[in-house]
Structure 1
């Protein structure tokens, strides 16, 4: 009769269970993986497959007993680190969408808002367009692979038997808040300058020709120039997004 000791079962399950929990936490928050179109069973199966495939790289991970005093802390740490990685990636998309909000405000298109079921909030058309564009760019630049690499590399900085509170202090997620507004403003700055010039021009025209109805002329002109400006500045969106991804992973202390 074949028998297994408890220590053997722990040695087999521990290297697979903790990476599985961390990857599953990332998939529950990170963009593209956390979409409602992705079933929960698919996320669980993909997380298990990623954890199983990473065993060759995570061969030297410490073994944490499932019924020991450190098991609860290990579970909390895996979930916290996974959620932090997914949240940092989501902040990149939030910065791009905020840039779209600012551009839409300057164009006068913020009244064209609709309910977004994915975020359960009112989102303007320009912000939603930038959000979809950032999602496509995320796939094109292999951002999903970068997220998986970040999860695997996070075990070097945050091992499974590490201190939970110390891991939270090392993540420095609060720095991403300031970077969110700064990056959104920098991405929207060319459009802000262009539309400001258009508004100044329309203001001068209204003073030179008062008989012209500037309200009837200004909106089509601003909208047309804004759409042309968006088409001209979209090819320049790749580098800021890549820099934001790198900054997000650097804030977490994850190096590729």
Structure 2
């Protein structure tokens, strides 16, 4: 009659449990993976498949029993690192949202706000449009695969050892917060400069011809120029977004796009 000891069972389950928790935590906040269209059971199944398929590369990982005193710290570490990976990838999309809000403010379209079920927030029409475009770009450049690669590579930088606070201090995710505003400004800067020039032109016209109703003319002109500007500058927005992804996921050892 066959029998298995607790050490043997944990030697089989430990290499799968901890990558599973890290991947599942990443799925809860990462772009595309965190959408409500994907059911919770589907996310659990995908996380298990990723953890199972990663066993060929995750070698020499320590075995941590669920009954050991280090189990709680290990759980916190896996969930924390997984959330950090998804949050880092989400920062690039947040930069696009901020740039869309800046452009919409200059175009006068910020009053056209919609509820975004993905971010659970009100987004302007321009911001919603840019988010949808860059989400498609994220999939087209295999960004979802790069995020999965970041989860696998993160075990080299943050091995399973239960040192949660050490992993948090090593990731330094808070430093990426300033990158949101700098990247958003660089993305929106061409459109802001163009619309600023239009507003200055409208101001000069209102001084030259005071009888013209500048409020009735200015909005259609600003809206038309803004639409043309978005069409012209949209192809140039790819590089700032890619650099933002590389900077955010480079902390976890992900490959570049």
Q: Kindly state the Cα deviation for residue 253 of structure 1 after the two structures are TM-superposed.
A: 4.5
Name the SS of the counterpart of 2:238 in structure 1: helix
Pairing 1:158-177 to 2, within 5 Å after superposition: 158-177=158-177
Structure 2 unaligned runs (5+)?
Answer: none
CA contact (8 A) 2:149 2:254 kept: no
CA contact (8 A) 2:24 2:47 kept: yes
Name the SS of the counterpart of 2:60 in structure 1: coil
CA distance in 2 between partners of 1:29 and 1:120 (Å)? 12
CA distance in 2 between partners of 1:219 and 1:147 (Å)? 41
CA contact (8 A) 1:170 1:253 kept: no
> CA separation of 1:177/1:25 partners in 2, compared to 1, >3 Å: closer, same or farther?
same
Pairing 1:196-235 to 2, within 5 Å after superposition: 196-235=196-235
CA distance in 1 between partners of 2:252 and 2:170 (Å)? 7
CA contact (8 A) 2:147 2:249 kept: no
Question: What is the alpha-carbon root mean square deviation over aligned residues?
Answer: 0.9
CA distance in 1 between partners of 2:43 and 2:162 (Å)? 26
4+ residue segments displaced more than 3 Å: none
Pairing 1:28-47 to 2, within 5 Å after superposition: 28-47=28-47
CA distance in 2 between partners of 1:40 and 1:10 (Å)? 26
Name the SS of the counterpart of 2:58 in structure 1: coil
Query: What residue is the counterpart of 1:76 in the other structure?
Result: 76
CA distance in 2 between partners of 1:2 and 1:232 (Å)? 70
Q: Kindly state the Cα deviation for residue 162 of structure 1 after the two structures are TM-superposed.
A: 4.5
CA distance in 2 between partners of 1:76 and 1:204 (Å)? 60
CA contact (8 A) 1:103 1:188 kept: yes
Structure 1 unaligned runs (5+)?
Answer: none
Name the SS of the counterpart of 2:114 in structure 1: strand
Q: Relative to structure 2, which stretch is displaced further, 236-245 or 222-231?
A: 236-245
What is the TM-score when the length of structure 1 is the normalising length? 0.98
What is the TM-score when the length of structure 2 is the normalising length? 0.97
